Amino acid sequence: MTTTGGPIIEVNGLYKRYGKVEALRGMDLMVPRGTVFGFLGPNGAGKSTTMKILMGLVNPTRGEAFLFGRDALHAGPAARSRIGYLPQDPEFHTDRTVREILKFAGRLYSGGMNPLTLRRRVDSLIERVGLVGKARRRVRALSGGERQRLGIAQALIGEPELLILDEPSAGLDPRGRREVIDLIDDVRQHTTVFYSTHILDDVQRVSDAVAVVGGGRMLAQGSIVEILGTPTDTYTAILRGEPDGLRGRVGNEPWVAGVETTQRGELEEWTVRLADESAADRLLPLLAGQKGCDVIEFHLSDRSLEDAYLEIVGDTHGE
């Protein structure tokens, strides 16, 4: 899917108060059309509240939200017919079967599907989320992970333009998690996916862009590359040998801000942060010039999304 057109979701200065608790404190957000967009933040940061406001389930105290370029707060069923939503901890009618829930959800979409199309779609989704043997099982007899799979299937039933998934991987085992990520990857051609999660490896693997929120506010938003940034002051070196005293010598250089070492079997991994980036060309000769010590690898450090996330979130707590 191309990222043409305006943002599919836009939120400006959204506030939400529950009694004395401020869940949102001026949330801003922009989700470009055609992206897989990760919505990250600690528990209580305002992710679910933002999603609920977009779905018309909760009223904001003030602020504005747009879906498909139109006021989300007055969008109604017409806008929701273009959205698939997975709530956090989805709760369905417990006395109904998996197949009944999906047929029910399918029938709710305006325009509707003819019974044969709906049946095929239900069968296909049951297979896609791995519930083939559970299609006739009642919801109350499903495990947490199976309910989550059903939740994902019902979100896809209307072939939505926009998927809003509130922690789709919650309660899933590693295999289930992988399947969710593969599924998001599958639908991205035709669907914008806006999802929240705490599993940052998954986000880094599949997302085009992310927003990091904390304390009911936007802390950072951008493409994965923008969020990760390119550290130019931190280097990783893998050393073999007995570099006695080397750590002290390196650490005492005025152009070095810090050294961390980690033993990895016979090898030692060094992470050296420079105080002066222009001194980078002095680091490798210093390491390589030691007797009894071989430099196996030397490169600019990669930064994980987890590092970037923790740095952005810092001491921010939830609402």
Partner 1 sequence: MASERRYLAGFGGYLWGELLPWLGWRGLVRLVVWTGLVNLVLYLDVVTDWDIGWVALESLDEAVDLVWLFAALGAIVVTVGPVVAERRRGTAGWVVSKPVSRGTYIVGKVVAHGLGVAVSMVFIPGLVVYQWLPGAEHARGFAPPTPPLSRYLIALGVIALLTTFLVALVVMLGTLLKRRGPVTGISFFLLIFVFTPPAVFSWSKYLPGMLINWERPTGMTPLANYVFGGPLGPTEAVWATALATVAFTGIAVAAFRRAEL
Binding-site ranges for partner 1 (CB under 8 A): 52, 55-59, 72-78, 80-81, 83, 85, 87, 89-93, 95-96, 100, 104-110, 112, 158
Q: Which residue, among 232, 244, 258, 235, has the nearest Cα to 291 in the 3D structure?
A: 244
User: Which residue, 57 or 275, has its beta carbon nearer to partner 1?
Assistant: 57
Q: In the beta sheet, which residues pair with residue 214?
A: 217
User: Which residue, 39 or 92, has its beta carbon nearer to partner 1?
Assistant: 92
Are the beta carbons of 216 and 27 closer than 8 angstroms?
Answer: yes
- Closest separation between CB of residue 221 and partner 1, Å? 25
Are the beta carbons of 214 and 317 closer than 8 angstroms?
Answer: yes
- Closest separation between CB of residue 74 and partner 1, Å? 5
- Closest separation between CB of residue 156 and partner 1, Å? 13
Q: Which residue, among 31, 71, 81, 27, has the nearest Cα to 49 in the 3D structure?
A: 27
Distance from C-alpha of 181 to C-alpha of 103, rounded to nearest angstrom: 24
3-state secondary structure of 261: strand
- Closest separation between CB of residue 222 and partner 1, Å? 29
User: Which residue, 84 or 214, has its beta carbon nearer to partner 1?
Assistant: 84
Are the beta carbons of 104 and 118 closer than 8 angstroms?
Answer: no
- Closest separation between CB of residue 20 and partner 1, Å? 16
User: Which residue, 13 or 87, has its beta carbon nearer to partner 1?
Assistant: 87
Structure token digits, residue 217: 């506010």
Distance from C-alpha of 44 to C-alpha of 105, rounded to nearest angstrom: 29
- Closest separation between CB of residue 91 and partner 1, Å? 4
User: Which residue, 49 or 221, has its beta carbon nearer to partner 1?
Assistant: 49
Please name the residue that has the structure tokens 């043409």.
Answer: 4
User: Which residue, 139 or 246, has its beta carbon nearer to partner 1?
Assistant: 139
User: Which residue, 57 or 132, has its beta carbon nearer to partner 1?
Assistant: 57
- Closest separation between CB of residue 146 and partner 1, Å? 16
Distance from C-alpha of 304 to C-alpha of 203, rounded to nearest angstrom: 11
Distance from C-alpha of 295 to C-alpha of 290, rounded to nearest angstrom: 9
Q: Are strands 234-241 and 217-223 parallel, antiparallel or unpaired?
A: unpaired
Distance from C-alpha of 211 to C-alpha of 163, rounded to nearest angstrom: 16
